[in-house]
Amino acid sequence: MQLIDGKATAAQIKAEIAEEVQKIVAAGGKRPHLAAILVGHDGGSETYVRNKVLACEACGFKSTLLRFEDTISETELLNEVDKLNKDEDVDGFIVQLPLPKHISEQKVIEAIDYRKDVDGFHPINVGRMAIGLPCYISATPKGILELLRRYNIETSGKKCVILGRSNIVGKPMAQLMMQKQYGDATVTVCHSRSRDLKKECREADIIIAAIGQPDFVTADMVKDGVTVIDVGTTRVPDATKKSGFRLNGDVKFDEVAPKCAYITPVPGGVGPMTICMLMKNTLSAGKKEFYQ
Ligand code: BQF
């Protein structure tokens, strides 16, 4: 069993990005600038946005954090999005999800200029990704592809089972894993209504677990020699931690790991790569790599 070290891989990629930024700036180019909108005080969201700001510093990017109370109206938030669309210094920006219930996430996502949509959530980027055109690709699936590539894990022609069908992970992951230029795999998407999920998983060469249920994948569900990618990051109470909680993956790591060829840990697996791929997208935005 080989552990896939997402934290170390992300650190290496951030160093590569920092080196490129240095060269761009030395040549008189513009330092990439990422802005983030954070609404409310959700503990998870606060942590994720802090991770993003720190990663910007590591990469030599400029970052701007815009904070609003969860009493902000949808109209006001859409207006803030429009201001960032028009701000010529901002290369890319994100709106941290989830948003309060009185605000339509879809409306907000569609208000973002797709040329600054470094999360890759706008329908134009989603559509371009689905047909294999250059675009911002959602950070978590992009990070998983990068891990598979850097660890030389063969995906072409393999059976890949994806657990979960979210717009952020499951759906784009399935799209990318099936495409010849990315995964080139045979893809099965399983979800809460799937009839024989255990049988599907037992036939998989690669399992990507993104259902958000702690310890969902158990040893009896996987075959020997499988590669397991754990996208789960549920916060569960843990009195032994000074924060009072720990991150728990979708995979029962201790019993599944011995059967694996490769497996990602939680924390330190997919999570750091998600942050890192947001940085890669921001670098692309700074370079106007995909659009205009
Ligand atoms: C790690 C996220 C659910 C909903 C919205 C490093 C992150 C997590 C874990 C992180 C996530 C999860 C992010 C680790 C960003 C990943 O060391 O294992 C980093 O910051 N993430 C997000 O922005 O929104 C979410 C999960």
Q: Per residue in 155-189, is it b (16+ CB within 10 Å) or e — as a string?
A: beebbbbbbbbeebbbbbbbbbbbbeebbebbbbb
Closest by Cα among 158, 277, 162, 177 to 230: 162
Q: What pLDDT, in 10s, does the model give residues 110-130?
A: 999 999 999 999 999 999 999
Closest C-alpha among 55, 249, 50, 260 to residue 163: 249
Contacts of 73 (CB under 8 A, 6+ apart): 102, 103
Backbone phi, psi, residue 45, to 5°: -60, -40
Q: What's the pLDDT score for residue 142? A: 98
Nearest to 59 by CA among 269, 285, 280: 280
Q: Per-residue pLDDT tens for 3-26?
A: 999 999 999 999 999 999 999 999
Residues 186, 139 contacting (CB under 8 angstroms): no
Token reading at 242? 């000074």
Which helix (H) or strand (E) segment holds residue 159: the answer is strand 159-163
Confidence at residue 292, expressed as pLDDT on a 0 to 100 scale: 85
48 lines ligand 1 (CB under 6 A): yes
Q: What are phi and psi of 131, to 5 degrees?
A: -105, 15
pLDDT along the chain (292 residues), means of 10: 98 98 98 98 96 98 98 98 98 98 98 98 98 98 98 98 98 98 98 96 98 98 98 95 94 98 98 98 98 91
Is the C-beta atom of 271 inside 6 A of ligand 1? yes
Query: How far apart, in whole angstroms, are the C-alpha atoms of residue 158 and residue 186?
Result: 6
Mutate-to-test residue for ligand 1 from 34, 46, 49, 51, highest number of ligand atoms within 8 A of CB = 51
* Residue with CA at minimum distance from ligand 1 atom 5: 97
What pLDDT does 251 receive?
Answer: 98
Q: Evaluate: CB of 267 within 6 angstroms of ligand 1.
A: yes
State the closest ligand 1 atom to the C-alpha of 266, by its place in the atom list counted from 1: 18
Share the mean pLDDT of the chain.
98
Nearest protein CA to atom 19 of ligand 1, as residue: 271
User: Measured from the CB, is residue 212 less than 6 Å from ligand 1?
Assistant: no
Find out whether the beta carbon of 233 lies less than 6 Å from any atom of ligand 1.
yes
Q: What is the pTM of this model?
A: 0.98
Which position among 91, 119, 230, 250 bears the catalytic label?
Answer: 119
pLDDT at 209: 98
